[in-house]
Structure 1
Amino acid sequence: MSRTKRFILPRLYFLKLALAKAKLKIGIRLGLVRSLMIMPYKGFGNENEIHFVVRVIRDRGIGISQLEDSSWRNFKKMYKRFMTWQIPGARVKATFHGMEQVSETDEEGYAEFHLPITASFVPNGLWHEVQLSLLDQIIPKQGEVRAENRILMPSGNVEYGIISDIDDTIVPTGATRIWEMLKTTFFGNAHSRVPFPGVSAFYQALAKGNDGIESNPFFYISSSPWNLYDFLMEFLNVHDIPRGPLMLRDLGLSREQFIAGSHSEHKLLQVEKIFEIERHLQFILIGDSGQHDPEIYLQVIQDYPGRVKVVYIRDVDPGRHAALEKIKAEVRALGVDMMLVTDTTEAARDAISRDLIVDSDLFKIEKSKSLDEKKED
């Protein structure tokens, strides 16, 4: 960090916090903050501990989207997502099967939990509930503020885990074209944004694996901000894409950065966090060629030998083919195949050849892809 940046950055961040504090104080006094909410972000864990994050903010009252929502209505909802009133210094209690932990929100309203699990707890199924409650009185006539979070705990009959990017991997976003990405984000909704043809059926097949039991866990990583969390989770639900924890990032001014850390740094950190916590699993890695996913996954394979079964990269940037061939060769030398695919069925056929999914799923994927393509027309 340069001397100028070291001098300016902490002062700008202090000013940002002071303005946010003043805004919240005035908002409460004027009655602009009438109700609060705990925003839970799905977590994950192992037999020893669970990890998750929550955020305490003003209740935005966004609700779910509808297919017929206008561009203006979509824009208003997106505006609410970004114009947040975060609540710093608030204590949140998490309760999980008799265990409790209290964590205090930071300057941006986030609270992180690392909750140990007692030896008597035996996981039953993939998903488990954590009860959340706000302990502090922040606004007049607040009442109880509660929420429930869902925690993914892979156990039992699991063949492998899947880590997938979202932007230009699951759904076309134009992540490499800023204006197109902004237009898609702010004026669309979970219904109007459509996945690449066949993605839903392919991911459902991976969730079932080769034994037909839907027990293989999904983890999603995106460089989008946490403000879009509910939007992206609704998108996955609307399009029948297997649910899983979604790791996003906090954009904007912080103690260490003016805007945000790089896509590569964020994604590598989150993938390696998953590998560290779910250390009993091997993984399939899925990404695209537009935002350095191949380079990130190469680093993961180097750092965690024997943990990656195969890598699927959606080809969205033909200009990178020469660089990708070099990366593929490096990955192959480490004993892993990186497959550059043009569509979902190509990845599905390769997955069948590796006994990752069953033959009968190919028909479903091809049919789904065909139907999705007709919808686009």
Structure 2
Amino acid sequence: MPYKGFGNENEVFLVGRVLRDRGIGFSTIEDSRFRNFRKMYKRFMTWEIPNVTIKATLDGQEWLATTDDEGYFEFEIKNHSFPKTDNSWQKVKLELLDKIIPNQGIVQSTALVFIPTKLVEYGVISDIDDTIVPTGATRIWEMLKTTFFGNAHSRIPFEGVSAFYQALEKGTDGKENNPMFYVSSSPWNLYDFLLELMDIHQIPKGPLMLRDLGLSREQFISGSHFDHKLTQVEKIFRLMPDIPFILIGDSGQHDAEIYLQVIKDFPGRVKMIYIRDVAENTQDKIKQITSEIRALGVELLLVSDTIVAAKDALSRGWIRQEDVLEIIKEKRKSEDS
């Protein structure tokens, strides 16, 4: 199971996992709550394949990595010579070199790696839970019910999110070159589920930065929500050194505080912060953080819905008027359905 990678012309970061195939497949809108639960159960009850070798191949170049105790493998490819193209997405062939079962045959897959072209205007880093799709992340039982009994069809993003993210990906030239990154505290077990959700609801593809469950490579449950997200966001900034970023999150957890730290660590790299207002009694805290961020030369806008963020982005010359009209159209369609 390769996860989408990313990097620059000098270094690429690519991770994935070797697991027994549980035959989960795609969901349908007709799937029952029991069927959804059974598929989600399989996602968490994984059979990992440790201590096996993976070969990555691109344009005649080869690299090797070994899976850890939980089946994860990681490539940090440096001084590569990826072919220069106008396409941001490069394909890396992955192959399992070890024999796990008798008569195994060839086990291989293809990983997508984002390498920015010169047409990039800016990048976008977004949270997922309660930023793109309602999950009740601050209410544990509601979140568990939503996670285990829904599927990619029944989980509906906030109105206008799909069109807004498409507008950001296209920027002002109308070409889909701006990189989109999604950083979440959701576990890697939900990777295929989140990819399916984004595909069904037409949210632009991009690398997902999730975290491990249990005794991970880093520490128990990959550390705190704050530490995990800060580490992943700053990894993106490091591997995309020449690109400014728009950061999007919500008020339910610690996104504003995390983004404040990013601004301190990478001055001059953040264009704007949009925070979706989803939690009660957080306005005073957000107001204080907004003042700290403004003092560092960046604006934070607390928004009630996607249209507010889209109109602000339009006023700053980051997206096109016609795309804002599509966002309004999508939001009205969602409200009428």
1:296 aligned to 2:258? yes
1:133 shift after superposition: 0.5
Alpha-carbon contact 1:123-1:153 (below 8 Å) kept:
no
The correspondence for 1:87, drawn from 32, 49, 56, is 49
Further displaced range: 111-120 or 225-234: 111-120
Distance 1:137 1:212, change over 3 A: same
1:260 and 1:288 map into 2 onto residues whose CA distance is 21
Further displaced range: 263-272 or 93-102: 93-102
What SS does the corresponding residue of 2:56 show, helix, strand or coil? strand
2:56 and 2:82 map into 1 onto residues whose CA distance is 18
In structure 2, list runs of 5 or more residues that go unmatched: none
What SS does the corresponding residue of 2:4 show, helix, strand or coil? strand
* CA deviation profile, 1:214-253 (whole Å, cap 9, x unmatched): 1111000110000000000110100000000000000113
The correspondence for 2:29, drawn from 46, 63, 67, is 67
Identity %: 63
1:317 and 1:120 map into 2 onto residues whose CA distance is 44
Alpha-carbon contact 2:211-2:221 (below 8 Å) kept:
no
1:183 aligned to 2:150? no
CA RMSD of aligned residues (A): 1.2
The correspondence for 1:163, drawn from 100, 111, 125, is 125
Q: Spell out the pairing of 1:228-307 with structure 2 (5 A cutoff).
A: 228-254=190-216, 257-307=219-269
Alignment-derived partner of residue 113 in structure 1:
75
TM-score (norm 2): 0.97
Alpha-carbon contact 2:246-2:270 (below 8 Å) kept:
yes
For 2:242, the aligned partner's letter is H
* CA deviation profile, 1:39-79 (whole Å, cap 9, x unmatched): 10010010112111111110111111111111111111111
Runs of 4+ off more than 2 Å: 116-121, 253-260
Alignment-derived partner of residue 76 in structure 1:
38
What SS does the corresponding residue of 1:51 show, helix, strand or coil? strand
1:350 aligned to 2:312? yes
Distance 1:349 1:180, change over 3 A: same
Alignment-derived partner of residue 2 in structure 2:
40
Alpha-carbon contact 2:59-2:82 (below 8 Å) kept:
no
Further displaced range: 204-213 or 292-301: 204-213
1:374 shift after superposition: 2.2
The correspondence for 2:15, drawn from 27, 44, 53, is 53
1:124 shift after superposition: 2.8
User: How many pairs were matched up?
Assistant: 337
* CA deviation profile, 1:256-293 (whole Å, cap 9, x unmatched): 64444111000000000000000010000000001110
1:99 shift after superposition: 1.1
1:102 and 1:159 map into 2 onto residues whose CA distance is 34
Alignment-derived partner of residue 192 in structure 1:
154
* CA deviation profile, 1:65-117 (whole Å, cap 9, x unmatched): 11111111111111110000001100000001111111010011001001235
Distance 1:260 1:114, change over 3 A: closer
What SS does the corresponding residue of 1:362 show, helix, strand or coil? helix
Further displaced range: 353-362 or 328-337: 353-362
2:187 and 2:133 map into 1 onto residues whose CA distance is 16
Alpha-carbon contact 1:49-1:114 (below 8 Å) kept:
yes
1:259 and 1:151 map into 2 onto residues whose CA distance is 26
Alpha-carbon contact 1:99-1:117 (below 8 Å) kept:
no
In structure 1, list runs of 5 or more residues that go unmatched: 1-38
1:139 shift after superposition: 1.2
Further displaced range: 104-113 or 139-148: 139-148
* CA deviation profile, 1:115-172 (whole Å, cap 9, x unmatched): 2354473133111100010000111121111111111111121100000000000000
Alpha-carbon contact 2:58-2:82 (below 8 Å) kept:
no
Alpha-carbon contact 2:51-2:69 (below 8 Å) kept:
yes
Distance 1:282 1:258, change over 3 A: closer
What SS does the corresponding residue of 1:40 show, helix, strand or coil? coil
